[in-house]
Structure 1
Amino acid sequence: MALVAVGGGGGSSSRSVTAVLEESVADVGALVENWRVDEDGGDEPFSIFLDGGREEAGRFLYAAVELHGAMTLVASDVEDVQRRGKCLVRAQEVLEGAMRRLELELELLLAAVRSNAVDGAIVSGHDVDDAGVVGYIRMVAEAMMAAGYGMECVSTFKSLRRAEFAGAVRGLLGYAPSQHARFHKLTWDDVDGKVKSWHTAAGYAFNVAFTGERILCHSVFAADAAVADKVFEGIASDHAADLLAVAEAAVARARRAPERLFHVLDVHATLAEILPAIVSALGDKSEATARATAALRNAGEAARGILVNFEEAIQKAPSKTATTGGAVHPLTSYVMNYLVLLADYDDTLALLYQQGRGTLMITSGSGSNASPDSPSSSSNLIGRLLSVLMRKLDAMAGRYRSLALRSLFMANNTHYVGKKVSGSNKLEGIVGDDWTEAQTAETRRHVDAFVHAAWRDVLVVGGDGADAAVREAVATQRTWVAADDEMADALKNFRKDNE
């Protein structure tokens, strides 16, 4: 249908604008009635676009917009006031019915456009291509805005998309982050359990879903980029805040416990990965960007604090707790297992080092020649921790009265350190060949010292007295320990070579 143009002068016309409005009301009313929803909640409602066809949908949209236009003309007409008033009341009722139908249409169309939580693809449950469904949504939005129902359109769209987005995030997390808005009050175990799934969810949300949601908003509200941005912000901002709250809580609850370092490093790595996507999707001035930047900084500070605390814990370990029989000390195995895990975070450590401007190297007197300006933070850090460990082992060895047992302790522990390094390609690559060769030479030196100290009397006595010296040496060494079969063989072979 089309409005008949109003003629000029004095408000006269070939047909009165009220008559045109009445005709428009009748047409739209018939269309609304034809697509009336079963209010008894029986059958699922049909979509005008997806079930009625594009031509039928076009008629409905055009008629609704024309009705609004006719109402605007009638409202400005100074003639036939009584008839005009009754017609406008009826027209408003019909227009509201049409808009309610279009709100339902938004719901039906958006239900056919789902954000797939696996790969972020837009998928449709109807035999219509994805771009076609989005195009239909845009047509509905433009019609509602042209008819003066822009606020209702935006509200419906945001409400539905927020719910859809929340469902996708909840499916990935295994819980709704909004249920734990006060994450800072959770225990570490609670936070730790929830942050494990957060890495995948945050990566998907910020790298895929938010970008896709922004594209959808700008496709639907293509006529006004400012409106599209506002709609997207309304959909994404709370979800972004909820997701970032999980990371903030994980960092805040980590404190300085060494065993929590790797959780903090994981959070730091994920935040560093998603920050560019947050800036791209939500803007560099957005609250989400500010919070993500602060969370990344706090994660770096927390990680550096834990590492400093870990170094101090090695330094402060009691030196008098040397092991029985010169065995590998628990501190040695703990530190080396820790460093093997830490080596896997080489890239994150490099970023931490850059972020902290060298603050990982904050104590002095290490004997390590790494400087704060060196390019490799992990080699600086791990080399330093190895140096601190070796000094502590030297101090522990000094508690043994027997020179032989002291040397055995150092041989066992330096051998264990070197074996852990050579058993990790990552760790071996970080410390370098020079360190590995020097460590091997150090172990040989301690083996040499042990054999000479332990069997010195046997080698000196010789003859018949040698048997007694051997028995005495064996009795003395009965409780002494070799780190492993390899070390035991090395000790035996070294002794044989020197007999």
Structure 2
Amino acid sequence: MHLFSLRIQEKEQFLQISCPLSVLLWLLASFFGFSIRMGDYESSSTPTHEREQHLIAAARHIMQALRSSSFQTDDLRKTLSDLESHLSAIAAITESKTEEFSEFEKRLKSAEEEVFSWESNDQIMIWDSGPVEASNYLKSIDEIQTLIQNFTGLSVDEYGKHKELLYRADSVLQLAMSRLEEELIHILVRYEQYLEPEYMSFRLSGADIVYDESFVSVEEESIEEASQRNRYTNESDDYYVVDLVQPLAIPHLKSIAKAMFASNYGYEFCQSFINTRKYALDKYLVVLGVQIFSIEDVLKMEWTSLNLEIKKWSWNMKIIIRVYLASEKRLFEQILTEFGSVSSFCFLDISKATMACLLNFGEAIAMGSRRPEKLFSLLDMYEVLADLLLDIDALFMEETGSIIRIEFHELMKSLGNLAKTTFLEFGNAIATSNTSSNPFSGGGIHPLTRYVMNYIKTLTEYARTLNFLVNDQCIEDSNPALELEDRQGIEDSFSSTFYPTAHHLLSITSTLKSSLDSRSKLYKDAALQHVFLMNNIHYMVQKVNSSKLMFFFGDEWIREHIAEVRQHATSYERATWSSVLSLLRDDNQRSHSFSKASSRERCRAFSIAFEEVYKSQTGWSIPDLELREGLQISTAQNVIQAYRTFVGRISGNISDKDIKYTVDDLEKYIFHLFEGSPRSLHHAFIRRR
């Protein structure tokens, strides 16, 4: 009996450490001499909760036998009572687990049926069927998620019912996630919205003018106006963030995102979302005409083609960044904001390839040569980037987008430096431009003058940008006259804010005048030299006086150059007509009349000289009508007055038939001069009766 008491004490200590039910059953059997095969209750093929029920029944059977024994003691009865309490507790727990498994399986089966029902109808989309169907499907997914989370925490045999149910739940959840991916793509495609026509492809105006580096002649149409069309054609000051997906689809997309992220399928959601939106972006880029050029392609491209691509690039940059990507970012934020930085990473993923394409083209341009014809395009590109700077900083403000921000800023700096250098070296390009050994025909406005003046006239449209770029340029000029022009023309008449730009524009015109002076010396006729300079300086004054250049050059510059035009007109008259009119003057100051022979000879000599002037100078050109008529009137006044006086003095010596040209004839012929069409006087000498 002492041994029995020891066993009872050992059993109680064993119970206190909550031994497994199967061990408890074995202990009872061994203590009290019962024979039992534990293998009957531990078969792995028997579900856990059923095995526990068998063990409890066996334990109670042993305890019932002990109660019926004849050698019960108080200790035994107390021990059996304690055992009964433990068995009841274990039975209650086992029953609870049994109910949990049953409830889990029931709920899982219901969710499975909902998921499987749509797999058999894979041609019908859930969200197309209505909000009730979509809601029921999402509820089934929520149910599966809840079951998995609750059931995962249970401490049960992993080789039993527990593992089987978890595997079923994971499988059906995976199937549901796959279906949600399909629904996501379908919704994005079905409810995709296309941009308005004003945000579509770039169309170049037919009136666009392209500068080239050869300083060839351009049409007289205002290049400034053409440049304005170049810069603003197809552009609008209004840019809007638009809905790339119909608003009614946003709640659907958010519900799918929430379900997939809650199920740890956020990566799969993002990949499907990004790939679908990338496809939409690629389609839009095709509509915009965006092409991928290598640096080598850009550097080898003909200027006309390259200039067109630059204009398309400028248009595309604004539309893609300010409209499309801004709208795309809003879409990502609408769907993914609640998931932290996921939205930023996804947006960067969809936009980085497009931004790389645009920035690479700009970098290729920045690597090109410094040629005058590129300046306007460089300034356009720089202004586009400067205008978009805040947009880029806002789109990629997170650390994830820092690489794009940095590359954007660096490209703007590179283009600005190239534009500044090209502008500052434009004067050198004028000075080193090819000078033909032959003079410009007719003494008209040289193509170089037209090119340069229209060029700098257009530059005034970029005054603020140029001033910003060259403001830090050290201005050193050794020309005192130019410094005087700077002081009087700029500081008195124009805001000193634009002094750096104005200084360089004045320097360019100074270089142009030097080049024109050299070209004028190619003419052998001194009179034609003056006509050439008069024409070209007058053209310069016209361009300055009729444009924003007047604010850069000032009134003093205009007055000085108008005076130069008049001086060249006076010099022309002196060079041409002094020798001709000398034939009409009497060398003998005391004589008031000519002899008959002298009168005839002087008439003949004057007629020959006039005909020579007429023959050559009708081929000379003064394109400006007002300037031409002014010089014709001035010439006519001097010549006609001298000729009328001469004819009056000789009228008594010779008959009218000896006078080849009347005063009216001369006046008419003088107004044929400078029209650019050579003529000859075939005047038949007819004796008047």
State the TM-score bracket (shorter-chain normalisation): 0.7 to 0.9
- Whole-angstrom CA distance in 1 between matches of 2:552 and 2:94: 89
- Whole-angstrom CA distance in 2 between matches of 1:192 and 1:242: 17
Match of 1:445 in 2: 567
Question: Residues 146, 316 of structure 1: CA spacing in aligned structure 2 closer, same or farther, 3 A cutoff?
Answer: same
Deviates more, 1:143-152 or 1:294-303: 294-303
Match of 2:111 in 1: 28
1:404–1:449 contact (8 Å) kept in structure 2: yes
Deviations 1:247-284 (A, max 9, x none): 2223333x122222222222122212222211111128
1:115–1:168 contact (8 Å) kept in structure 2: no
| Structure 1 residue 143, shift from structure 2 partner | 0.9
Question: Residues 360, 284 of structure 1: CA spacing in aligned structure 2 closer, same or farther, 3 A cutoff?
Answer: farther
Q: 1:110 aligns with which of 170, 174, 188?
A: 188
Equivalent residue runs for 1:162-241 within 5 Å: 162-172=278-288, 174-177=289-292, 180=293, 182-186=294-298, 187-189=300-302, 191-241=306-356
Q: Secondary structure at the match of 1:478?
A: helix
Question: Residues 197, 16 of structure 1: CA spacing in aligned structure 2 closer, same or farther, 3 A cutoff?
Answer: farther
Question: Residues 89, 305 of structure 1: CA spacing in aligned structure 2 closer, same or farther, 3 A cutoff?
Answer: same
| Structure 1 residue 137, shift from structure 2 partner | 0.9
- Whole-angstrom CA distance in 2 between matches of 1:455 and 1:192: 50
- Whole-angstrom CA distance in 1 between matches of 2:543 and 2:510: 15
Q: 1:490 aligns with which of 617, 625, 630?
A: 630
- Establish whether residue 279 from structure 1 lines up as the match of residue 393 from structure 2: yes
1:28–1:98 contact (8 Å) kept in structure 2: no
- Whole-angstrom CA distance in 2 between matches of 1:405 and 1:142: 85
Q: Secondary structure at the match of 1:283?
A: coil
Match of 2:456 in 1: 339
Equivalent residue runs for 1:51-450 within 5 Å: 51-81=128-158, 82-114=160-192, 116-118=194-196, 121-122=242-243, 130-172=246-288, 174-177=289-292, 180=293, 182-186=294-298, 187-189=300-302, 191-253=306-368, 255-283=369-397, 286-317=402-433, 318=435, 322-343=439-460, 346=461, 348-359=462-473, 365=479, 367-369=481-483, 370=486, 374-376=496-498, 377-422=500-545, 425-428=547-550, 430-450=552-572
Q: Secondary structure at the match of 2:560?
A: helix
The one-letter code sitting in structure 2 at the alignment partner of 1:448 is: T
| Structure 1 residue 93, shift from structure 2 partner | 1.5
- Whole-angstrom CA distance in 1 between matches of 2:255 and 2:607: 98
1:404–1:451 contact (8 Å) kept in structure 2: yes
2:112–2:172 contact (8 Å) kept in structure 1: yes
Deviations 1:81-107 (A, max 9, x none): 311112222212111110011111211
- Whole-angstrom CA distance in 1 between matches of 2:306 and 2:358: 13
2:317–2:358 contact (8 Å) kept in structure 1: yes
The one-letter code sitting in structure 1 at the alignment partner of 2:320 is: A
- Establish whether residue 475 from structure 1 lines up as the match of residue 612 from structure 2: yes
The one-letter code sitting in structure 2 at the alignment partner of 1:52 is: S
Q: Secondary structure at the match of 1:405?
A: helix
Q: Secondary structure at the match of 1:122?
A: coil
- Whole-angstrom CA distance in 2 between matches of 1:225 and 1:467: 103
- Whole-angstrom CA distance in 1 between matches of 2:429 and 2:611: 37
1:211–1:281 contact (8 Å) kept in structure 2: yes
Match of 1:3 in 2: none
- Whole-angstrom CA distance in 2 between matches of 1:58 and 1:274: 43
1:102–1:140 contact (8 Å) kept in structure 2: yes
| Structure 1 residue 476, shift from structure 2 partner | 4.9
- Whole-angstrom CA distance in 1 between matches of 2:394 and 2:474: 31
- Whole-angstrom CA distance in 2 between matches of 1:34 and 1:262: 65
- Whole-angstrom CA distance in 1 between matches of 2:376 and 2:532: 30
The one-letter code sitting in structure 2 at the alignment partner of 1:342 is: L
- Whole-angstrom CA distance in 1 between matches of 2:94 and 2:471: 78
- Whole-angstrom CA distance in 2 between matches of 1:17 and 1:262: 78
1:21–1:67 contact (8 Å) kept in structure 2: no
- Whole-angstrom CA distance in 2 between matches of 1:426 and 1:250: 29
RMSD: 3.1
Tell me the TM-score normalized by structure 2: 0.62
The one-letter code sitting in structure 1 at the alignment partner of 2:282 is: A
Question: Residues 236, 410 of structure 1: CA spacing in aligned structure 2 closer, same or farther, 3 A cutoff?
Answer: same
Q: Secondary structure at the match of 2:616?
A: coil
The one-letter code sitting in structure 1 at the alignment partner of 2:533 is: M
Deviations 1:291-331 (A, max 9, x none): 22111111122222222332102123448654344333232
Aligned residues: 472
Match of 1:127 in 2: none
| Structure 1 residue 368, shift from structure 2 partner | 2.9
Deviations 1:446-495 (A, max 9, x none): 11121122111233442543762463255256334132143332221111
- Whole-angstrom CA distance in 1 between matches of 2:405 and 2:254: 29
2:531–2:569 contact (8 Å) kept in structure 1: yes
- Whole-angstrom CA distance in 2 between matches of 1:269 and 1:362: 27
| Structure 1 residue 426, shift from structure 2 partner | 4.2
The one-letter code sitting in structure 2 at the alignment partner of 1:256 is: R
2:470–2:501 contact (8 Å) kept in structure 1: no
Q: Secondary structure at the match of 2:445?
A: coil
Question: Residues 496, 97 of structure 1: CA spacing in aligned structure 2 closer, same or farther, 3 A cutoff?
Answer: same
2:366–2:415 contact (8 Å) kept in structure 1: yes
User: Which runs of no fewer than 5 residues in structure 2 stay unpaired?
Assistant: 1-89, 200-240, 586-598, 640-689
The one-letter code sitting in structure 2 at the alignment partner of 1:222 is: T
Question: Residues 287, 478 of structure 1: CA spacing in aligned structure 2 closer, same or farther, 3 A cutoff?
Answer: farther
Question: Residues 349, 25 of structure 1: CA spacing in aligned structure 2 closer, same or farther, 3 A cutoff?
Answer: farther
| Structure 1 residue 80, shift from structure 2 partner | 5.0
